[in-house]
Chains A and B, each alone.
Chain A
Amino acid sequence: KAGVTQTPRYLIKTRGQQVTLSCSPISGHRSVSWYQQTPGQGLQFLFEYFSETQRNKGNFPGRFSGRQFSNSRSEMNVSTLELGDSALYLCASSPSGGGAYSYEQYFGPGTRLTVT
């Protein structure tokens, strides 16, 4: 099976702009989670989508939003970019079915966002 893919891999944006990142999960996985990774804060949970519904949300401002499509592909959007949004954004997919196995997450390579 193909792994989790994320596009684009690298992105440079200017403060105030908005950006959309895309994630395609492993075939058959219905859960997609997004994380922000920075050197100082480590991995911080943004949100999780399951069957097109947001199931969990982390502690991020409303500028961060996401959605999931019927084919389980997911996008996240950040509006009004700030310098502090510069980070590696990771997407992870999980198999459905519940239990510990649904939390054996499979990560994509990430999108490196730089805000100038």
Chain B
Amino acid sequence: AQSVAQPEDQVNVAEGNPLTVKCTYSVSGNPYLFWYVQYPNRGLQFLLKYITGDNLVKGSYGFEAEFNKSQTSFHLKKPSALVSDSALYFCAVRPMNSGNTPLVFGKGTRLSVIA
């Protein structure tokens, strides 16, 4: 069965500094990987996804993520954090070519960007 680990419940970063939110996964075969963001009192918003091809994926709001197959990781990054990036971030995975297997989400990492 597939699983996702987000090892940090909380990440604090100063505005203007680079940020990284970590995600590792376990899946049979090749993965589809996703990042979602949740702002207070809102549903999840899609940020980016990895399907195949270039290991560096660029997404919304200046975020990017790097797929590392050997380390089974898909860390979310941004070169310069904004206070408005403060939110809850979820990593999700499903196996490629697995029919209709639903997405599995990590437990989320709360990002706090301090001015």
Tell me the A residues contacting B by CB distance below 8 Å: 4, 6, 33, 35, 41-43, 45, 48, 50, 55-56, 58, 90, 92, 100, 103-110
Interface positions, chain B 89-115, Cβ under 8 Å from A, are 90, 94, 96, 100-108
CA distance A55 to B45 in the complex (A): 23
Partner of B102, one of A41, A48, A100: A48
Dominant secondary structure of chain A at its interface with chain B: strand
A-B contact count (CB 8 A): 56
CA distance A27 to B46 in the complex (A): 18
- Do the beta carbons of A43 and B90 come within 8 Å of each other? yes
- Do the beta carbons of B45 and A56 come within 8 Å of each other? no
Q: Give the size range of B's interface with the partner.
A: 20 to 34
Given contacts A104-B46, A107-B43, A109-B43, contact A42 B102 (CB under 8 A): no
- Do the beta carbons of B51 and A43 come within 8 Å of each other? no
Partner of A45, one of B42, B104, B107: B104
Tell me the B residues contacting A by CB distance below 8 Å: 32, 34, 36, 41-46, 49, 51, 90, 94, 96, 100-108
CA distance A76 to B45 in the complex (A): 22
How far, in Å, is A71 (CB) from chain B's closest CB?
Answer: 21
Given contacts A90-B43, A100-B32, contact A105 B103 (CB under 8 A): yes
How far, in Å, is B22 (CB) from chain A's closest CB?
Answer: 15
- Do the beta carbons of B108 and A42 come within 8 Å of each other? yes
Task: Give 17 A-B pairs besides A43-B90, A100-B51 with Cβ atoms closer than 8 angstroms.
Answer: A4-B43, A33-B103, A42-B105, A42-B107, A43-B44, A45-B104, A48-B102, A56-B102, A90-B44, A92-B43, A100-B49, A103-B34, A103-B103, A104-B49, A107-B44, A109-B41, A109-B43
